[in-house]
Amino acid sequence: MTTALIILGAGMGTRMNSDLPKVLHEIAGSPMLVHAMKSGAALEPERTVVVAGHGAELVEKAAKAYDPDVTVVIQAEQLGTGHAVRQARDALAGFDGDALVLYGDTPFIRPETLAAMAAARLTHDVVVLGFEAEDPGRYGRLITKDDQLDRIVEFKDSSNEERAVNLCNSGVIMSNCETLFDLIDAIGNDNAAGEYYLTDIIGIARARGLTATVVRCDEAETLGINSRAELSHAEALFQTNARTDGQANGVTLTAPETVFFAHDTVVGRDTVIEPNVVFGPGVTVESGATIRAFSHLEGCHVSRGAVVGPYARLRPGAELAENVKVGNFVEIKNAQIAEGAKVNHLSYVGDAEIGPRSNIGAGTITCNYDGVFKHKTTIGADAFIGSNTMLVAPVTVGDAAMTASGTVVTKNVPAGDLAVARAKQENKTGFAVRLFDKLKARKAKGS
């Protein structure tokens, strides 16, 4: 059976106290909305519809950055979850598969849970995701009868007996698409909030003789995020799980609580990650690498056996081949560093290509930006770049060539050549003593 996703993301999120739409606040470097889209992607949906409201243009931009084929529809008035889902009707016209309703502020539902819901749909008309809450609080309650889900009762409309039930509603619902919209059409707003509750479709479905059931999941999967405090809690939960998964997959974390992963970080087995390392989005680290303390990586690829840091920064486009060494206080951006090359300390390498086994001395800078355009530096194999070399791009240093320390390279260096471009040193006898005496006298006179 084909599936369509309907992801609700129209809420303003007033408790966030933010101009940014709630679903665009980030966890592990990615908007909550994208986490929800990634969860639903496990079912390989044929269509995805995001229902936006507050900040719709920003929501659409974020959604399409993840899935260019997504359809974004607008809920102009916030009249409840049933009303929100109804906005997806036209976008799903003619679709005859199942529809799964997810929430843009509920980012942690596991693929296995959604697969269980899809399996339950084979034998039931409507499937609801529920959880047994440690503290049911103000959650809606799932009321069962004769092994069927009989109805969902919102807390504010529930009796004392119904509030004693601890099987709670996540809000996630799956049904045949046409059936879903038929049921929504029958929803009224005669309730304490005057809203059209999506949850009312269960009672309507049962009254029509349709079947409904509950798939249970862990409470942590249904975590909804409505405030900055809850966002921090969600981030901590994500990081705890990511660290645990990394260790289970053979990654050594010497101080796990100080390492922060992004939502898409990939790290191979037998890699060692030292304390206070931060991964931004888009990082892959192959097996057997070492990421030393206080390094920051984003949008980069680190190959087997490479050593990065301490205090290194790898920016988007940094590609490190096997056994590369990038040392302390080095920044690399949009550069390919070939096998066995070394950039050991205090250097900036941007918009560059470094050949195999080349050595980049301390303080080397690729001067890649002229104020308008970026330019490329190319260094061949087995080259030696002396400390404090300025490489004014575009420029090429050939295989086995050298630059003398302090050289400003403004033209290509042929293979095997030594480039020297610095002023000739001249020592002025006794000048330092005379100069200091003069300066001290001026200072004493001024005081």
The residues annotated as belonging to the active site are 345
Q: Are 281 and 299 within 8 A, CB to CB?
A: yes
C-alpha to C-alpha distance for 84 and 59, rounded to whole angstroms: 15
Q: Is 3 exposed, middle or buried (0-12, 13-18, 19+ CB in 10 A)?
A: buried
226, burial (CB in 10 Å: exposed 0-12, middle 13-18, buried 19+): middle
φ/ψ bin of 54: left (φ > 0), alpha (ψ from -120 to 50), beta (otherwise): beta
DSSP state string for 17-34: --SS-GGGSEETTEEHHH
DSSP labels, 392-422: ESSEEE-TT-EE-TT-EE-S-B-TT-EE--S
Q: Which of 368, 362, 369, 343 is nearest to 354 (CA)?
A: 343
Contacts of 34 (CB under 8 A, 6+ apart): 62, 63, 65, 66, 263
- Residues 170/222, Cβ–Cβ less than 8 Å: yes
Strands 384-385 and 402-403 turn out to be parallel
Q: Which of 292, 237, 301, 240 is nearest to 267 (CA)?
A: 301
Is residue 310 reached through a cis peptide bond, with omega within 30 degrees of 0 on the bond before it? yes
Q: How much of the chain is helix, strand and coil, in % rounded to 5? A: 25, 30, 45
Residue type, 231: L
Beta-sheet strands, E only, within 355-400: 359-360, 365-367, 377-379, 384-385, 390-392, 395-397
| Entry field: residues in the chain | 447
Q: Distance between terminal CA atoms of the chain?
A: 89
